[in-house]
Structure 1
Amino acid sequence: MNKEILKEVEKRLYSYFEREYTVKGIKLKISKLEEQITQIEEDIKNNNVIIEEESRAVTYGEKVQTSLNYTSYAEREFVKAIERLEREKVFKLARIGELKAELRKVEEEASEIECNMHRLSKLDLEFIELKYKFKPKLSVEEVSNELNMSRSSAYIRRDKIINEIYSWICIPGA
């Protein structure tokens, strides 16, 4: 049994059994980001921004300045505040896109295993659930005790299951 293959398939099995929590977490993050985007849009729509007060310190030096800028300090600060909100919204939209891509990847990897689980025997299913699904994670020796089999039989069964699962899934570079 190639150790690289064993590690990769075991990683996929752990991910497969934890996908429910992973998907739930990703969907919660997306929901929170969408709520924040809605709040940002409301702030922009209602002009709900805070403008810092212009410094009114008295200066006694002679200062002559000609300016062709016809916007007031308040208008410039208001535009800056709205632009900050718009940048924050764009960042959050990009993050939602990343999370949705991650969600698709998790579901794709799980589907490779899920659509072939019916091929395993009842004993094999029980073995992988004990080893990879339930917490705390059990060692192969502990699984062998649970299933009343010898330690060597448990390792042989694990290798057989890993090889069978490996034949179902696409592992790049393995």
Structure 2
Amino acid sequence: MDKELFERTEIQLKRYFSKDKIIKSLKDKLFLLDKQIRSIDEDLRKCNVSIEPESKSPSFEERVQTSSDGMSYAEKEILRVTEYKIKRMTEKQMEREKTLEQIDQIEIDYNFIKDAIEVIQGQARQLLELKYKKGFGEQQIGNILHLTQPQVNKKKWRLVKKIADWDQWGKIS
């Protein structure tokens, strides 16, 4: 098994054991993004735009607007701020979609890994939970399971390989 497949399977295992926590965090992020999108949308609908006054000091004589494009300073600023709000809202919507995609991928990984892990019992199952759920190191796992660190690494490697092969073979032997 190559290193890339091993690392990808380890990521899937970590997601499996922390699925609920990660999905809750991502759903909280979605709630916040929805709130921000609604706020920007409401500002745009109500034309809630404030602009800074021109930097020149005002004069009291009659002035004629001279602009090459026929737009006043206020019009340009309102257009600039409105375009910025639209850009921000679009970015928030894209971030929302990426977050939904992350949730979908975690659920796919969870279902794939769940089928592979269900058949693993005993010390092997405990090793997976200690490593990927609780985040223990090999030395700590070895102390708990009464194994040496090389034995823990060897068992972990075999288990991750079996889980990675699950998709290809359909079962863990």
TM-score normalized with structure 1 length: 0.74
1:42-66 Cα offsets, whole Å, 9 max, x none, are 21222211122233455xxxx9958
Deviation at 1:36, TM superposition (A): 0.6
Pairing 1:15–2:15 present: yes
Query: Which residue of structure 2 aligns with residue 138 of structure 1?
Result: 137
What is the letter of the counterpart of residue 127 of structure 2?
Answer: F
* The 10-residue stretch of structure 1 (155-164 or 83-92) with the greater mean CA deviation from structure 2: 155-164
What is the letter of the counterpart of residue 157 of structure 1?
Answer: K
- Summarize the Cα distance change of 1:57–1:133 in structure 2 as closer, same or farther, 3 Å threshold: same
What CA distance in whole angstroms lies between the structure 2 residues aligned with 1:133 and 1:51? Answer: 52
1:94-135 Cα offsets, whole Å, 9 max, x none, are 111122122212222222101332111233211211122114
What is the letter of the counterpart of residue 102 of structure 1?
Answer: Q
Do the aligned residues in 1 keep the contact of 2:51 with 2:78 (CA within 8 Å)? yes
Aligned residues: 164
Do the aligned residues in 2 keep the contact of 1:113 with 1:169 (CA within 8 Å)? no
What CA distance in whole angstroms lies between the structure 2 residues aligned with 1:75 and 1:152? Answer: 71
Query: Which residue of structure 2 aligns with residue 157 of structure 1?
Result: 155
Query: Which residue of structure 2 aligns with residue 40 of structure 1?
Result: 40
Quote the RMSD (CA, aligned, Å).
3.1
What is the letter of the counterpart of residue 138 of structure 1?
Answer: G
What CA distance in whole angstroms lies between the structure 2 residues aligned with 1:145 and 1:80? Answer: 63
What CA distance in whole angstroms lies between the structure 1 residues aligned with 2:84 and 2:30? Answer: 21
What is the letter of the counterpart of residue 112 of structure 2?
Answer: E
What CA distance in whole angstroms lies between the structure 2 residues aligned with 1:118 and 1:144? Answer: 23
Do the aligned residues in 1 keep the contact of 2:49 with 2:78 (CA within 8 Å)? yes
Query: Tell me, which stretches of 5 or more residues in structure 1 are unaligned?
Result: none
Do the aligned residues in 1 keep the contact of 2:65 with 2:72 (CA within 8 Å)? no
Pairing 1:148–2:138 present: no
% identical equivalent positions: 25
What CA distance in whole angstroms lies between the structure 2 residues aligned with 1:90 and 1:13? Answer: 33
Within-5 A mapping of 1:84-123: 84-123=84-123
